[in-house]
Amino acid sequence: MANRNFLFVQSDESAALTRFIALAETATGFLKGAPGGHLPGWHTLGQDNRAFLESLNERLMVTYPQAGQPFCAVRLWTNLMWQPAYLAFIAVHLHGALPAVTRLSQARQNLDINGFRLPPAPQARGSTEELIDLAGRDLRAMGDAVLAEINAVTKLKRVPALRLLTDRMLGLVVRLKHFRPETTLAEQYRYCELWLAAMGLTGHGGLETIDLDDGRQVAIIARKGCCLDYLAFPDSYCDSCPKLAPKERRARQRAGVLAELEAAG
């Protein structure tokens, strides 16, 4: 079990946070944040977020009337959890220290949540395993709080929500090869187990391995959760959708891997 006696580094908090925010944007090309606290109209745990959630839910219902309530509830959940998950993962595996990423404030951009602010605070340091344990427990606690907020506005069952959060973490573990090409397949599997265990998500999804023609092996996602996008976009399934037959799903994911490798040169 990981040692939980973490070192929280307090010196130069603002500079460390600025470096982390810059790293997150550089690594992904899309995470955009700034130092600071809650702003009016933003979502922040501990604030009264009901109007924020009701407004976004209403906009989703009006935009996708054919998709129905389940799709909109899922969109609320995935919108609110994607940035914290990315930030926690980047903090652990690229930054090497953990800011208080679950204290972030998040902005709404039309139908999506995009953009964040983080208050300066001490950052936890430790081994990768220790940071995964801490970040995973924090993410799950945040997820439980967000799920309660959503269920005060609309209905979202716990198991589908947890499976979708699992999908997010699986995708990040697969993407770790993009962030750190030296990462081995065995390391990806080990990190996957650690993240899911820390978040109480073991059994809600996992990784699979496919063989490429050149002899390489790569990890792909084996999901149990469905994002319900097909309700809004009929006959359109994600390449990793669990509703696909296993053979078709693996073929689609293999084609996606090959396309990414070709684009990367």
Q: Where are the domains of the chain?
A: 7-264
| Mean pLDDT over each residue of the chain, to the nearest integer | 94
Which residues, other chains included, contact 172 with Cβ-Cβ below 8 Å and sequence gap of 6+?
85, 86, 89
Give pLDDT, residue 262. 85
69: tokens are: 């309530």
Give pLDDT, residue 11. 52
Identify the helix (H) or strand (E) that includes residue 79: helix 68-90
Give pLDDT, residue 3. 44
| pTM of the predicted model as reported, rounded to 2 decimal places | 0.94
- DSSP assignment letter at 101: G
- DSSP assignment letter at 47: B
Q: Are 92 and 172 in contact (CB under 8 A)?
A: no
pLDDT tens digits, one per residue of 5-59: 555 555 588 899 999 999 999 999 999 999 999 999 999 999 999 999 999 999 9
What is the Cβ-side half-sphere exposure of residue 93, based on CA atoms within 13 angstroms? 27
Give pLDDT, residue 234. 87
Give pLDDT, residue 2. 42
CA distance 192 to 48: 34
Q: Give me the mean pLDDT over the 131-155 stretch.
A: 98
CA distance 227 to 79: 11
* Secondary structure in 3-state letters for 103-157: HCEEEEECCEEEEEEECCCCEEECCHHHHHHHHHHHHHHHHHHHHHHHHCCCCCC
